[in-house]
Amino acid sequence: MIKTYFYNHTDNRMDHDVDLQNKCRFLKSNEDLLWVDLYKFTDEEIKSVASTFNFHPLTVEDCLHYSPRAKLDNYEDYFFFVLHALRYEEESEEEISLVQLNVFIGPNFVVTVHRETLPILGRIAKTSLQSPSFMNRGVDFFLYSIIDGNTDELFPIMDRISVRIDELEDEIYEQPFKEITEEFLALKKTILTIRRATLPQRRIFASINAGSYSYLKLREEIKPYYLDLVDHLERIIDSLDGHRDLVDAALATYSSVVSARTSETMRILTVISTIFMPLTFLTGFFGMNVPLPYQHLGISTWWITVGLLIVPAWMVLIFKKRKWI
């Protein structure tokens, strides 16, 4: 599906669903801005838009196939970004997943390509239609609005991960082994996925903020926004590193707890086995079908019983004296 939004700077007017066949007319003025949004698109739609804007075939291929890492490619007339948004559903089987967002940035046009709907783009579209002047701030601010919106959605996820780690630290002494292990694996996967999506984006926008990039060179009034964006990304990465260390420490603690429980269980079983060894010997010895001294006397049964009680009692006293139990 293709949605188009055209901001006419002269008339301060937004036009929706314009005909891309008139692209040249829309892009005559650098003060105007054309936004083309492709979502749930077909191969024919992306190729049609690529032909209209004369995009490189390699960028079309990147849009058609999933790429696990963010990147920035500099072409002669435009920049091509591969970015990722996050979908976090704690109760689902696939707890966290990456949604690829491809962005083409030209002097006065933006093309966003994504297979799944993204809330931030919906909010930007609504704001643009309600307040046409929003798109009057240029492509650099428009790009910032997209990335900042995606970044802001990470903070509630980070807060939830922090709560889950605290809960995990409280539960490692209570929950069964399988449940704890599954929670550790889910948390580590979530943290790794967020870090894999965030770290390359921080490098990209830190370099954009510091370098000179033709028509994408940041205006002075826009630079503080990108500095704030990079700061947010760095805070998220620092939090991820801290969460990863906490999960590793909790996992090490849990492994120690499991090992201690196993050792305690083996120690108790060893003590019980050791106590029953002489009892097994005595009962086996006196149970042989051979004549034994005083076996015709009834009191012999009581003496044997007393002996069987004395042996384990004596062994328990020795174990306690040596602090084995």
**Which DSSP helix (H) or strand (E) runs through 103?**
strand 96-105
In what side-by-side order are the strands of the sheet with 96-105? Answer: 13-16, 2-8, 33-39, 109-114, 96-105, 79-88, 71-74
Extents of the domains making up the chain: 2-258, 289-325
- pLDDT digit string (tens) for the chain, length 325 residues: 888 888 888 888 888 888 888 777 778 888 888 999 998 888 898 998 898 888 999 999 999 998 888 888 888 888 999 999 888 887 777 788 889 999 999 888 999 999 888 889 989 989 888 888 888 888 888 999 999 999 999 999 999 999 988 888 888 777 656 677 788 888 888 999 899 889 988 888 888 776 544 445 777 888 889 899 999 999 999 999 999 999 888 888 888 877 777 777 787 777 778 777 777 777 776 666 666 666 666 676 777 777 778 877 877 787 777 776 6
pLDDT at 16: 85
pLDDT at 292: 64
pLDDT at 237: 93
The residues with which 104 forms a beta bridge, in sequence order, are: 80, 111
Count the neighbouring beta carbons within 10 Å of the beta carbon of residue 47.
Answer: 16
CA–CA gap between residue 304 and residue 283 (Å, rounded): 9
CA–CA gap between residue 95 and residue 51 (Å, rounded): 37
Q: Could you say which DSSP state residue 70 is in?
A: -
CATH 3.30.460.20, applies to 2-258: yes
pLDDT at 6: 86
